[in-house]
Chains A and B, each alone.
Chain A
Amino acid sequence: MTTAPGLATLSAAPGAQAQARPTSGGPAAVNADVLLSARELSVRFGGVLAVNKVSFEVRRGEVFTLIGPNGAGKTTVFNLISRIYTPTTGEILWHGGGDAPTALTAHAPHEIAALGIARTFQNIELFEHATVLHNLLIGRHTHRCTGFWREVFFTPGTRRAEIEAREKVERVIELLDLQHHRDAMVAGLPYGVRKVVELARALCTEPKLLLLDEPSSGLNVEETADMAFWIQDIQQELGISVLMVEHDMSLVSKVSDRVLAMNMGEALASGTPREVQSDARVVEAYLGAVDDLSSLRRRPHE
């Protein structure tokens, strides 16, 4: 189990009301460690209150995990952060840019990536009719430095920028072992590889915060273990904070520093993976009680 040094102390408290710090002068006074903070987030779709007064904060350098039963509102939280939805109430503050935190709602959806927030999607949203390499290069879009006319004439500067982008992408390819698939069309890749490509594409934006929606779904045990290593590499070697939604508790407890459990749109419990996993309500709503699978087996007399 790895934990980023200096972040071992966890102030676990469900909801933000309990987390209220002695603030003196507005958001800027919040703990300098905080990268992103969500306060009292709610969003309603017609009759469904998908997220209800959820508050949490993600600190620099940590892996923060959201867990919860299906339909708890985890993906919706991601969508709120990446501005696909706008919260009905509440705000999300980003502390990653300079000194003053900014509210994400003040940014257009496409500006989120430039702020340093990248994400993957639960249902995989890759550019299907492009190669893996192409997908990753698109990931570098926020770092483009050439203008339209320079590209039309493909000036030497553009060429240099292209080669540089390519070098960066190549490093991600190497980190995630995608060399084999570099020139393959995404449309023909198996599910598991696509998950990795999506992760790679998000990494190419060189984010400060990475949102991973169920990174291990569709991966087998071995691949999940690889995923765990990658997430740790990303956290420790690249210093990227990770906000993750995950159902595989082995992965969750291996990589996350803190966990927030949600249920029916509301925060249920938060704390270290161990604490949350042993929370009775979490067990009841999410984990299920029995761990013995032998009851599934066919009894001999059947």
Chain B
Amino acid sequence: MLQILQLLLSGIAQGCIYGLIALGFVLIYKATETVSFAQGELMMLGAFCAFAAMSLVGLPFWGAALLAIAAMAAFGVLLELVVIRPILGQPQFSIVMLTIGIGYVARGLITMIPAIGTDTHSLPVPYKDEIWKLGALVVNVEQAVIVGATAVLCGLLYAMFRYSKLGIAMQAASQNQLAAYYMGIPVKRLNGLVWGLAAAVAAIAGMLLGPITFVHANMGFIGLKAFPAAVVGGFGSLPGAIVGGLVIGIVESFAGFYLPDGFKDTAPYIVVLVMLMVRPNGLFGEKLRKKV
């Protein structure tokens, strides 16, 4: 029983990480209808930012965190300005390709930093290696922090898209750019904002993840497991991203324990396939159909 609880707990924590990254995907998807393959890399950059601020500059954790978030947000805006904006309006697929390219570049650049890029680093967060004991249950503070941050972030983003004019305008721009222009929605500016926001979210994810998987150039690949999370939840639904992440995390944790080796790595993908068979639009996705 305790075993199951412990597995559940670690599944939830891992799931929150997936959810957090998926949140970034969904954010970009909802606001621009593109799928960003660079989200994992942005996260990696965010983690490196925080790492640099703490280890190289020597800032305290909170200072470094804020700095990293701000720096990444600025970077996101800049990225949009330089590479995304020129082809805004081209088929979404082009932008997806761009994000793949951005991913390569980010990984390449980081790897090229002498003596730092190729190595693995640990992020010295203040709560590192701390654990809470609830009876026999061990709760990792690192993981608890992830769960908390994820919940808060999800709530904020949800409120933005649901109630704020800006959030609705972002969705409008993604659904019909032309009409958005006709309505005077500053599509380009919003797009920049979205990328800034997504990069900030990625930075947060990176810092939360840093203590657990370490900071290294390839840490962004974990994003590949966040895709299934986003799909299981229904791409385009923020709460869905979190729930999807949890489902994937928990399934993974149990599969790793009870099933033979190899199932753990494939479990998320099996789950997503089953989900697509049963509910092609995910748990929270709406069934959309073109009216002719």
* Contacts between the two chains (Cβ within 8 Å), count: 7
Q: Is A284 an interface position by the 8 A CB rule?
A: no
Residues of B within 8 A of A75 (CB): 292
Shortest distance in angstroms between B100's beta carbon and chain A's nearest beta carbon?
A: 23
* A204-226 with Cβ < 8 A to chain B: none
Total number of B residues with any Cβ neighbor in A under 8 Å: 1
Give Cα distance in the complex from A79 to B292, angstroms. Answer: 8
Give Cα distance in the complex from A121 to B292, angstroms. Answer: 6
Provide the B235-248 mask, 1 if CB < 8 A to any CB of A, else 0: 00000000000000
Residues of B within 8 A of A79 (CB): 292
Residues of A within 8 A of B292 (CB): 75, 79, 84, 121-123, 125
Residues of B within 8 A of A123 (CB): 292
Give Cα distance in the complex from A123 to B290, angstroms. Answer: 11
Shortest distance in angstroms between B288's beta carbon and chain A's nearest beta carbon?
A: 13
Shortest distance in angstroms between A294's beta carbon and chain B's nearest beta carbon?
A: 32
Give Cα distance in the complex from A75 to B292, angstroms. Answer: 8
Provide the A43-79 mask, 1 if CB < 8 A to any CB of B, else 0: 0000000000000000000000000000000010001
Provide the A86-122 mask, 1 if CB < 8 A to any CB of B, else 0: 0000000000000000000000000000000000011
Provide the B275-292 mask, 1 if CB < 8 A to any CB of A, else 0: 000000000000000001
* B164-210 with Cβ < 8 A to chain A: none
Shortest distance in angstroms between B57's beta carbon and chain A's nearest beta carbon?
A: 52
Shortest distance in angstroms between A302's beta carbon and chain B's nearest beta carbon?
A: 30
Shortest distance in angstroms between A3's beta carbon and chain B's nearest beta carbon?
A: 31
Give Cα distance in the complex from A123 to B292, angstroms. Answer: 6
* B125-145 with Cβ < 8 A to chain A: none
Provide the B250-292 mask, 1 if CB < 8 A to any CB of A, else 0: 0000000000000000000000000000000000000000001
Give Cα distance in the complex from A18 to B182, angstroms. Answer: 50
Residues of B within 8 A of A84 (CB): 292
Residues of B within 8 A of A121 (CB): 292
Shortest distance in angstroms between B190's beta carbon and chain A's nearest beta carbon?
A: 27
Shortest distance in angstroms between B289's beta carbon and chain A's nearest beta carbon?
A: 9
Give Cα distance in the complex from A84 to B290, angstroms. Answer: 10
Shortest distance in angstroms between A299's beta carbon and chain B's nearest beta carbon?
A: 32
Give Cα distance in the complex from A105 to B292, angstroms. Answer: 19
* A248-262 with Cβ < 8 A to chain B: none
Give Cα distance in the complex from A84 to B292, angstroms. Answer: 9
Name the CB-closest residue of B to A76: B291
Name the CB-closest residue of B to A121: B292
* A125-147 with Cβ < 8 A to chain B: 125
Shortest distance in angstroms between A280's beta carbon and chain B's nearest beta carbon?
A: 32
Provide the A177-201 mask, 1 if CB < 8 A to any CB of B, else 0: 0000000000000000000000000
**Chain B interface (Cβ < 8 Å from any Cβ of A):** 292
Q: List 7 A-B contacts (CB under 8 A).
A: A75-B292, A79-B292, A84-B292, A121-B292, A122-B292, A123-B292, A125-B292
Which 7 pairs from chain A and chain B are nearest by CB? Answer: A121-B292, A125-B292, A123-B292, A84-B292, A79-B292, A122-B292, A75-B292
